[in-house]
A and B are shown apart, each in its own frame.
Chain A
Amino acid sequence: MRNLGALIATLAWLASGPAAAERIVSSLSVHQVLIDQSFSGLDLVLFGTVERDAATVTRKTPYDLAVTVTGPRQSFVVRRKERMVGIWVNADSRSFIEVPTYLAALATRPFNTFASPELEQRLQLGLRNILLPQQIGPDLADVVRDDPFRVAFVRLRAQRGLYVEQTSAVTFLTPQLFRATIPLPAEVPVGAYEIDIKLFADGAMIARSSSAFEVIKVGFEQFVANSAQHHGLLYGLATAAMALMTGWLASIVFRRD
């Protein structure tokens, strides 16, 4: 009988649980970013609302949102130059395994204003806390946040606009309606992107939702990139032929004698 009571209690909690908490409903301005000849970067807009119902408890603080956008993954080597016998040589290196090529950590306010340091770390809020696994011996692990290679990797990606941290990119238009701007630079990598939306109130995460979009090449760009990738030899022969044609044409056009 006690077991049955517990079961009923669990079922009641399950039924009421989702209804009592907030729900995030969101959408993107586009779900496919198309790269053509004139592509020079794009600001993607994510908008949505925090849904409540009669059973939802009142929150003491206004809502805060953390939006993390993760691009396709790739492995990188970071090298550090050291001075050796008077010249600068690549001495030390670290391998970052399957880390995002694009990363945006966006929020309504600085992460530490609405999440405790433990929460920031556990939920990977901000570029400092997102996992960037390195090859350490036979293992894969993230290192201390202040590791010079990790810091340099994030800084170099940020310089090209590929790693972004903006704690003012998400704004609440009304207490429930929000809007976030995802800045995609011109050299944004092609592939599948994931968006992770976390809602905070009263110092805790109260709801989570996800979305996705993809970046693809279209038209002529797609044709060229495809040929280069899948028909390398033919593509090379065509490029070499183009070079000879151009050279020959020029000598005809500029012929004087």
Chain B
Amino acid sequence: MEIYLPVADLPVNVFLILGMGLTVGFISGMFGIGGGFLMTPLLIFVGIQPAVAVATVASHVAASSFSGAISYWRRRALDLALALMLLIGGTAGTVAGIWLFTKLRELGQLDITIGLSYVILLGSVGGLMVAESLRSIARARSGAKVELRRPGSHTWVHGLPLKMRFKQSRLYVSAIPVWGVGFIIGFVGAIMGIGGGFMLVPMLIYLLRVPTSVVIGTSMVVTLVTMAFATVLHAATNHLVDAVLALILMLGGVVGAQFGARAGQRMPADRLRLLLGILVLAVGLRFAYDLVVAPTERFTIRVMESGS
């Protein structure tokens, strides 16, 4: 069944889009990530203009992370105070990121920057996650007791001033690294057009030592707020959000996220981290492939903004 998208200006198959929403929703519910880094390339592949894809995915991510966040909230498996502090840093990061985004677009080097950041970020984050989770699985196999958060294992991060207590996370850390993590997520998210959940989850686990049980719920709250904000911002400035496309993606996404969240809770944490690591690494490698291998089409067309 084909339906014409009023803002993207082309017809798409409803079931294809619904299926994509469902699949990405499942993954995002399972790992507590927005899934923008998967959905945006998929939409571009189907033929939707990159700018419309990025803007519309924001609303889809907001929907599926809200649906996920509610179910984590019912289980009290999220830390609202921590989410709020992350969002403070995130807002500053978004503003800085959008500034750089505009500068790079003027120079015509946005594509390569996005491509390279995907490769570097996804490659390193994915690689680290795979390595860490494999070690932890191996330790568990050999019978040694695995304790991710040993009481004495404080890093330099924990020596910083401005300490705050996050009850839900049973955490007592300085606000500086929390803001820092938020800033990085907001900055990278604005440039790459993604929520950054796939980076936020490992940063919360490894850098701030937030217990895995509250990480996913907290990450979802952060993603929800940033993406809802991004939707409004994109719609108000670029007029590129396609509400019809968004609705189809959301319907698939929220259902998928529900099943994904359940599947995620049944799986051991280290196994879950390994899977997410592999997924992130795979997407990173895909982008690396595009950068290194000679493209079949060396030319690209972009509509010039009327202002320039």
Contact = CB atoms under 8 A, between A and B. Distances in A.
A239 interface: yes
Interface string B236-264: 11011111101100110011011000000
Contacts of A87: 112, 116, 291-292
Contacts of A242: 59, 63, 243, 246-247, 250
B65 A77 contact: no
Contacts of A251: 66-67, 70-71, 254, 258
B112 A93 contact: no
A146 B106 CA distance: 28
Interface stretch (B129-137, B148-156, B177-185, B293-301): B293-301
A124 to B, nearest CB: 21
Contact of B109 (A36, A39, A90): A90
Contacts of B295: 81, 88
A152 to B, nearest CB: 4
A137 B11 CA distance: 39
B6 interface: yes
Contact of A35 (B4, B62, B302): B4
B255 to A, nearest CB: 6
Interface string B274-308: 00000000000000001110110111111110000
B71 to A, nearest CB: 6
A250 to B, nearest CB: 3
Given A35-B4, A79-B300, A250-B67, A232 B235 contact: yes
Contacts of A37: 3-4
A83 interface: yes
Interface-centre pick from B4, B7, B258 (highest chain A CB count, 10 A): B4
Contact of A76 (B74, B233, B301): B301
B6 A243 contact: no
Nearest to A238: B243
B147 interface: no
Contacts of A254: 71, 255, 258
Contacts of B258: 250-251, 254
Interface string B185-222: 00000000000000000000000000000000000000
Interface stretch (A5-13, A176-184, A221-229): A221-229
A237 B59 CA distance: 10
Interface-centre pick from A38, A228, A248 (highest chain B CB count, 10 A): A228
A240 interface: yes
A20 interface: no
Contact of B7 (A157, A224, A243, A244): A224
Nearest to B65: A247
Given A74-B303, A76-B301, A243-B231, A232 B237 contact: yes
Interface in A190-232: 190, 217, 220-222, 224-225, 228-229, 232
B4 A40 contact: yes
Contacts of A77: 108, 301-304
Contacts of B3: 37-38
A247 B232 contact: no
A235 interface: yes
Nearest to B10: A187
Nearest to A233: B236
Contacts of B257: 250
A138 interface: no
Given A225-B7, A250-B257, A257-B74, A79 B232 contact: no
A222 B4 CA distance: 11
B60 interface: yes
Contact of B63 (A81, A88, A186, A243): A243
Interface-centre pick from A76, A78, A224, A247 (highest chain B CB count, 10 A): A247
A220 B62 CA distance: 24
A228 B254 contact: no
A56 interface: no
A11 to B, nearest CB: 49
Contacts of B303: 74-77
Contacts of A111: none
Interface string B1-15: 011101101110000
B104 to A, nearest CB: 11
4 closest cross-chain pairs (CB), A and B: A236-B235, A247-B66, A250-B254, A247-B67
Interface of A: 35-40, 74-83, 86-90, 93, 95, 148-149, 152-153, 155-157, 186-187, 189-190, 217, 220-222, 224-225, 228-229, 232-233, 235-240, 242-244, 246-251, 254-255, 257
Interface of B: 2-4, 6-7, 9-11, 59-60, 62-71, 74, 108-109, 111-112, 116, 228, 231-237, 239-244, 246-247, 250-251, 254-255, 257-258, 290-292, 294-295, 297-304
Given A78-B301, A242-B59, A243-B228, 4 more contacts: A76-B302, A89-B109, A90-B111, A187-B9
